[in-house]
Structures are given as C-alpha cells and as structure tokens.
Chains A and B, each alone.
Chain A
Amino acid sequence: MGRGAGHGTTPPYRAFLAVLLAAIGAAMVIPILMVFSTSLAPEVEVLRYGMRILPTTGLSLDSYRYILLGAEGFARALWVSVIVTALGTVLSMTMTCLIAFPMSKFQLPGRKPIFLYCFFTMLFHGGLIPTFFVVKAVGLLDSIWSLIIPSLMSVWYMILLSNFFGSIPASLEESAVIDGANDLWVLTRIVLPLSLPAIATIGLFTAVGFWNSWFPAVIYINDRDKYPMQTILREMLYSLNYSSVLGATIEDAKEPPSAAVRSAAIVVATLPIVLVYPFLQKHFVKGVMVGAVKG
C-alpha cells in the first residue's frame, strides 16, 4: 500500500499508518454496506442473525416492494422530497447568485453596510421558537413551502460565491460593459459560466441540505401526507426508540417497520447522495478552499 515505486522499502511506521488508515476507511464503509445488505435480506433472517456485512443467501426485494408500493406513504414522501429539493435548490441558488454578484463589487456604494446586514444574521439568531412564530404569521404552516422558504439562503454560501465572483478578472466584464451590456447580462453571460465549478459545488451542497432536512417538517407540518421522506424515516426510528423497551421477537417479523424495511428506507434516502457524491467530490475541496483562503 504505502510502498511507492522507487522509495525502496516502506518504513515500519508508515506501513502501520497505512493499516490504520485502511481500518478507518473500513469503519466508514462497513456500516453503510451493512444497511444495504440488510435491506436485501429476508426479515426473519435479520431478526435471527442481525446484520451482515455482505448480502447473505436468500436475497429478497420484499422490503423495497413494501416501501415503494405505498406503505407508510413512503412513495408520496419521496415525491415531496424531490419537489422540495428541486424547487429549493433553484430558488436558493438564484437568490444567492443575485446578491453575491453585487457583493463582489467593492466599488459599489453601500456595499459594506448591506454586507454587514447579511453577515450579522450569521452571528445572532432569533432561534427556533421566534422563527416558528414568523413562519406561522406569514401563513406557511402546513405547506411544503415551509420546508423551502425559511431555509432558502445561506449567508456563508453567499460569501463563498461573492469571493469566487470577485476573483474573475475585471477586464472580462469591462469589455462587455463598454459594448453596452447591463449588469444582469454580465452576470448571466460572463460571470456565471466562468463560475460553474463554484456554482456546481454550492448548488450540490444546497441540494443535499434540502434532501437531508427532516426537522422543519416536524415543527411546520401537521398533515402527514406532506412529510418529506427523511421525516417519515425519523418517525419510524422514533416509534422504534420508544418501543425498544418492549422488545421484538421473531413472531413480530411480519410487523412493519421492521429492520429490513427500515434499511430499505435508509438506502432509498441515501442512494441519491451516494450517486451524486463523485461529482460533488470533484469540486468541493476547491470550492471549500475558495472561502477558507479569502474568508
């Protein structure tokens, strides 16, 4: 592993570190792999033997059939999650890019006070209860918009984007302005196309944030039909956590949500992230560093 060509033998400490790192890596992957295997296992086998690292014999798609064909409203919840993620990401990125562009223009009169106006919200929060009051007062309770609008903008992402926009050579914009282009044209035709790595990174962070979010629905939504999938998943765990004292037996194996069904739900909830992850990873290190270097 740590034996690079031309380096001769690996010093023992380095081999030791390599083994340790491999163990850490395994510790990250194995739990995820176990959930995947469990989701494919027949329920009785799970109760009898617990989870397996690799799928055992007797694979079964029953759990997936169970959650995707209507049980627990999981299919509908999946749809809510897709809508919230898509709408939320598009609206959030639009609003964030629109303000990040003027914020990257240091000569703009009034830029500093507006920046401080935004920045202050990162330092001081109204908190859970007053935010609930506001969401209720503006009439968003029990609407899927309550899952989108209150978390529409991250000032931190705005700062990252405006730093990125600011790093684009001004000469590129100036020539367009001389040709009579207005600022919106400059933003959409010059700045955004040059910022695609940053936009992709922050857009994917935002999407993952919406996809993973479960708490807003707990406080803002009463109608279970409007729950996103992560909140449904949380409900399954919650009932499990509070009934664990009673203990389940093999006879209960038919009773949902069982371990296999839960695992299938977890796989469905996590699969999209694992699928976009390679694209995410390509950019995010650079994206994160843009902020760290200048911030």
Chain B
Amino acid sequence: MTGGRTLGARLRRYRLLYLMMVPAVVYLFVFKYMPIFGLMTAFRDYHPTMGLRGFFTAPWIGFKNFRVFFGSIYAGQILANTVIISGLKIAFIFPAPIVLALMINEMQNTVFQRSIQTVTYLPHFISWVVIGGILFDMLSISSGSLNILLERLIGHRVDFLGNPGAFRWILVVSEMWKEVGWGSIVYLAAIAGIDTELYEAASIDGAGHFRQVWHVTLPGLLPTVTVLFLLRIAAILDAGFEQILVLYSPPVYGVADILDTYVYRVGMTQGRYGVATAAGLFKSVIGFAMVVGANKLVRLTGQKGLY
C-alpha cells in the first residue's frame, strides 16, 4: 500500500520529465517500430493501399516471397556482391584512418597537423550526390578530364564507371577519400589518451622512437581498433547504398548490385513489394544477429561494448 503511494508520488514528482519524452517515444513508435511490424508483410499478400492495419490483417502466404528471392538467379550474385564490396572496403578502408592518425601524430608542427586534419575531415560532410558529380566530371567518357588526358596520352578513352573490372575499385577509392580523415579522429583521440609515462618508461628502457611506436602507441590503440573492427564486420551487409545508387548503371549491375540496391529497385521501381521486403527482412535479421554477436565478442575482450 505505502509502496504504491510512494510510486504515485514519485510519478507526480517526475511528471514533467515523462512528458518531455512523449514526442520522441511516439515518433520512434510510428517511424521505427511500425516499420518493424511492417516486416511481417514479407509473409503476407500486402499492398500499400491496405495501410497500417494490413501489416496485421493481409492474407498470409508463408515463405513464398523468400522462395522467390532465394530462388532467383540474382540472390547469389547480390549476396556475393554485398560481401565482396564490404570485404574490399574493410580490407582497404578500415586500416587507412589508423595509418593516417599515426602519420599525423608523427608531425611536430601543430599548424601543419591541424591543416591536414581540417582538409581531410572536409569530404565527410560532402554528399554522395556531389561526390558522384565530381567523379563524373573526372571519369566520364564524354567529358571527363581524365579521359581527355588519356585520349591525348594513349589515343583512346576508357569508360571507368561502366567498366565492371574498375567499378568496385572506384567504390573503394571514393569512400576512402570521403571517410579516411573523419575516421582518424577517434584514433588521434586514443593516441592522445595514452599515458605519457609509458613513453618515458620505454625511453628509459632504451627504446628508440620506432620501438616506442611499436610497443606503446600501437598497443594503446588496440582496444579502439578491436571494437571498431568488430562493429564494422557486423555491418558487412551495409556495402554503401547511397554511394552505389549514385554511381552505378546497368553495365556494372553484375558487380555492383547489393542487397540494398536490389531491395530499392525491386520494391520501389518494379513495385514487387513482397520480394523486396523479404530480402530486407533477411538483411535486418542477419544485421541484428551480427551486432549482438560483435558486442558479445567485444565484451569477451574485456571492454565495455556497445551496450
């Protein structure tokens, strides 16, 4: 009895705080949780005119959409593309900010350090549409400056963006250009957080500059690297939706079509909502399992993890 009264009193005391949460809680319910319920339409014969009620009432058709997706000749290709593009990005883009941070850290002139940071962080804030525009201006076969140069040097032009052999590398290089500087921030902070006494101790033990980097700086970075690496692996099905959507075209679909672009094309441009939702549900479930798994691993390494 008294417990109930205390709770009532506490709720009154905090009434305003609860009211402050209402807009965000309602927003998340409508725009984040309702779409999760909407994933059930992968198992239903749903049409957008059925509204939200249709998420729960449209006729049940079982795994038909999944059979269509996984049975199609594209499924294997799309999954392979997604994993290969992500894998290339992890292999080449993940280490880049670590190297950049170590290089910036070697500089003794703080003005130079800061200028490099300013310049390398900037592309992070430029949209993929704009970067796509810049790439077209450089690479396009009709008016790209690189092609005009190539014509003069080797006598013919090269269709970079329509070339299946080159396209994935364009994805890797352009994303590295955009994100390498931004990614280095967290490593620079981690380097700054290393106890200077460790360097002094190493120095007393006779370690030269490079041995200090090897035995103090790198181990100091290891926890951050581990956490970010595991989280990046967990996001392996995110191969860069906006980037690919901006840059790809039919000649390179075979090497560039990933799960997200497939969902968009099949769902939004062909109107085959059921199959697209089934592919999307597959991606959400795998993504969720991977993040939970990654978090477990992070905790096993003795760190705090994501949650």
B270-289 with Cβ < 8 A to chain A: 273, 276-277, 280-281, 283-284, 287-288
Given contacts A28-B177, A130-B280, whether A102 and B17 have CB atoms under 8 Å apart is: yes
A231 to B129, CA, bound (A): 8
Q: Tell me what chain B mostly uses at the interface: helix, strand, loop, or mixed.
A: helix
Contact of B284 among A94, A101, A125 (CB under 8 A): A125
A1-40 with Cβ < 8 A to chain B: 1-4, 7, 14, 17-18, 20-22, 24-25, 27-29, 31-32, 34-35, 38
Are B145 and A50 in contact, with the CB atoms below 8 A? yes
Q: Tell me what chain A mostly uses at the interface: helix, strand, loop, or mixed.
A: helix
Are B138 and A31 in contact, with the CB atoms below 8 A? yes
> Does A196 sit within 8 A of B, measured CB to CB?
no
Given contacts A24-B100, A129-B263, A230-B127, whether A262 and B133 have CB atoms under 8 Å apart is: yes
- CB-CB under 8 A from A270, the residues of chain B are 126, 130
Are B185 and A35 in contact, with the CB atoms below 8 A? no
- CB-CB under 8 A from B245, the residues of chain A are 215
Query: Would you give the 0/1 interface string for A216-234, flagging 1 where the beta carbon is closer than 8 Å to chain B?
Result: 0001000000000011011
Are A119 and B307 in contact, with the CB atoms below 8 A? yes
A73-127 with Cβ < 8 A to chain B: 94-96, 98-99, 101-103, 105, 108-110, 114, 117-119, 121, 123-127
Are A280 and B125 in contact, with the CB atoms below 8 A? yes
Point out which of A27, A96, A240 has the most chain B C-beta atoms below 10 A from its C-beta: A240
> Does A245 sit within 8 A of B, measured CB to CB?
yes
> Does A70 sit within 8 A of B, measured CB to CB?
no
Closest Cβ neighbor of A242 among chain B residues: B249
> Does A66 sit within 8 A of B, measured CB to CB?
no
Closest Cβ neighbor of B247 among chain A residues: A241
Interface size for A (C-beta < 8 A) is 108
Are B142 and A248 in contact, with the CB atoms below 8 A? yes
> Does A269 sit within 8 A of B, measured CB to CB?
yes
A49 to B142, CA, bound (A): 12
A234 to B260, CA, bound (A): 18
A1 to B108, CA, bound (A): 9
A120 to B127, CA, bound (A): 27
- Which one of B31-39, B73-81, B86-94, B194-202 is at the A interface? B31-39
10 A–B contacts from the bound complex (CB under 8 Å): A14-B108, A25-B119, A102-B17, A121-B32, A124-B36, A125-B35, A129-B41, A136-B48, A158-B24, A273-B126
Interface residues of B (CB under 8 A from A): 7, 10-11, 14, 16-18, 20-21, 23-25, 27-28, 30-39, 41, 46, 48, 51-52, 55, 100, 103-104, 106-109, 112, 115-116, 118-123, 125-127, 129-130, 132-134, 136-138, 140-149, 159, 161-162, 177, 180-181, 185-186, 189, 242, 245-247, 249-250, 260, 263-264, 267-268, 273, 276-277, 280-281, 283-284, 287-288, 291-292, 306-307
Beyond A114-B21, A153-B28, A245-B162, 17 additional contacts (C-beta under 8 Å) are A3-B109, A4-B108, A7-B108, A14-B107, A20-B103, A28-B120, A51-B138, A99-B23, A124-B36, A127-B35, A127-B284, A133-B38, A133-B52, A134-B38, A183-B14, A240-B136, A244-B141
